[in-house]
Structure 1
């Protein structure tokens, strides 16, 4: 695996992990009914996912140009991190909304 591919995959893992962490922060803030902080954390999660998607797009563009990425455990791990980050962020949004409903009652 070349150095550039390794950097792209590590970026994908790092930004996806950041998104998941921000999403967890949003849930924790919502539990304390601090919806301003929860929204900020969800926005931070969204920004991290955008960066992760940029890394993924770089991999896909390379492949579309005929330069296939070697499929390794690291490649699969990076994609798994992205899907987990997306899923966790989506779930965090729903949980924050539920806390909002609870707070209004």
Structure 2
């Protein structure tokens, strides 16, 4: 099995890309490109799911009795996982907000 450090770095890498994608999606929504924003959210979800899968395997291993000592690195990986999830929620809300603003702008210019 991979070392705990390597596993932690894998989680951090996957969810770091996911967070970047979610923030990139917000920028696209701000620019009015909602189709691209939703596509980028999907790309972020793919990366997030990879990180989540690695994390879930660790939890399953522990549940089977493996008492691997958690490290600061693993705690950082879990923090990144949770913050990516939070950023996604905020990004989706902001995309909806930009869509509404865009519709209001279109209606006001008639």
What TM-score do you get using the length of structure 1 for normalisation? 0.93
Query: Matched residue of 2:32: which SS?
Result: coil
Offset, 1:61: 1.2
Offset, 1:7: 2.2
Query: Which runs of 5 or more structure 1 residues have no equivalent in the other structure?
Result: none
Query: Matched residue of 2:85: which SS?
Result: helix
Answer yes or no: is the 8 Å Cα contact 1:29–1:37 preserved in 2.
Answer: yes
Match runs of 1:89-104 below 5 Å: 89-104=88-103
Offset, 1:4: 2.9
Rg (Cα) greater in structure:
2
> How far apart, in 2, do the equivalents of 1:12 and 1:68 lie?
19
Matched, 1:36 2:8: no
Query: Which runs of 5 or more structure 2 residues have no equivalent in the other structure?
Result: 105-110
Higher mean displacement: 40-49 or 87-96: 40-49
Q: How much is the aligned-residue C-alpha RMSD, in angstroms?
A: 1.3
Offset, 1:3: 4.1
Which segments of structure 1 move beyond 4 Å, counting only runs of 4 or more? none
The aligned residue for residue 64 of structure 2 is 65
> How far apart, in 1, do the equivalents of 2:2 and 2:13 lie?
16
Across the two proteins, how many residue pairs are aligned to each other? 104
